Amino acid sequence: MGYEVISQTPKLLYFYTSLPYSHTPILPYLLKPYLCQFMKTDKTNIRTLSRTEIAEYFEDLGEPKFRAGQVYEWIWQKHAFKFEDMTNLSKELRARLAKDFSFPSLRVDTIQYSADGTVKTRFKTFDNHFIEGVLIPTDERRTACVSSQIGCSLSCKFCATGYMERERNLDFDEIYDQVVMINQQAEKTYDKRLSNIVFMGMGEPLLNYKNVLKAIDRISSAEGLGMSPRRITVSTAGVAKMIRQLGDDKVKFKLALSLHAANDAKRHEIMPINDTNNIRSLIDALNYFYKETGNEITFEYILFQDFNDSLKDADELIKIYRQVPADLVNIIEYNPIENAIFSKPEESVVNIFMKHLEKNKVNARLRRSRGKDIDAACGQLANKNASPQMP
């Protein structure tokens, strides 16, 4: 089933005008289920069809089967975003496709350019929501940081997205669109394709499990972007059950755990998900994931001043590191956001923390944030109102 925005309906107008004036402040909440109902259509999103299903459709129309290959190529390799783009089809056939199928796709809303070369894009979905994706360039890499949900339900205290309402999961093709458009930015701005993808944008990827895996399958397919899954990292706040599911599904991509505190008491303060997914359960799940896949595991650890930056905290982190076959601990500098009370430690404290990890043979790397001047750094994605900027 597809969706289509309908601007007016008699029932909605009647519903609106029949409400007493005192109810008008809550109209967005009251109207939401009705709007969802009226946005539904009977059209199938063409990107949910296989090549075989598209071939069967053309056969029913009396068209040659090779049309399916043409359409499939436009969708997944030439990256068309509407039927009108499929210029080797007749206008009549394109009109018929538009009549029979929906083609929801992301659109670029605004683009911001950081002084350090980072590019943040706010995308608009077919149903008028916003998400953000980031192109992070370095001398060696061009990394796309992509979102998996509109908003987030996990309420991590240090993350701007955590203060947003979760609206819905992104569909697999919306995730794919992000990667396609950020790759186009990399080619245009830096004359090189993306080298890496990280699911570290808005939302919790493992709470949108099927769409994330389907998007990665398409991204890594020869009929899609052809990117190696070994260059893709999925980051999770820690959903133990779904980490185990990744192992059962024998995925080929890398996994990163957003740890950020090395004991349950502190982790509970900043990450409510720890109440149902404590550190012991995550250690067990990560070991199962590694046993089943052998894939690289990384710990992510943001340093907060006077909260998790002491040598005692470092020792607790070392203890966890030694219980999991992790390849790396990323120590991340904190990026301030509205509503949060945290601050960044002094540089001397960071250096002492890092040296203690290195002394204890922890493979640790200090990750400097990029794109802070456009709110594109770790933990800052929140769909803030922003004016487009020129590179």
Q: Where are the alpha helices (DSSP H) in 272-336?
A: 279-293, 311-321
Strands (DSSP E) along the chain, which ranges?
A: 44-45, 101-102, 107-113, 119-124, 130-137, 142-145, 149-150, 168-169, 196-199, 232-236, 254-258, 297-303, 328-333, 364-367
Give yes or no: 156 in active site. no
Residues 106, 128: Cα–Cα separation, whole Å? 10
Q: Which amino acid is at 35?
A: L
Contacts of 366 (CB under 8 A, 6+ apart): 331, 333, 350, 354
Residues 49, 374: Cα–Cα separation, whole Å? 38
User: Tokens 């999770």 identify what position?
Assistant: 236
3-state DSSP: the chain helix, strand, coil percent, rounded to 5? 45, 15, 40
Distance from the first to the final alpha carbon of the chain: 39
Nearest to 259 by CA among 280, 228, 289: 280
Say if CB 329 and CB 292 are below 8 A apart: no
Give yes or no: 378 in active site. yes
Say if CB 380 and CB 145 are below 8 A apart: no
Residues 122, 385: Cα–Cα separation, whole Å? 10
**From 145, 152, 156, 378, the catalytic residue:** 378
Residues 302, 213: Cα–Cα separation, whole Å? 27
Number of residues that this document lists for the chain:
391
**From 56, 59, 132, 159, the catalytic residue:** 132
Residues with a known catalytic role: 132, 378
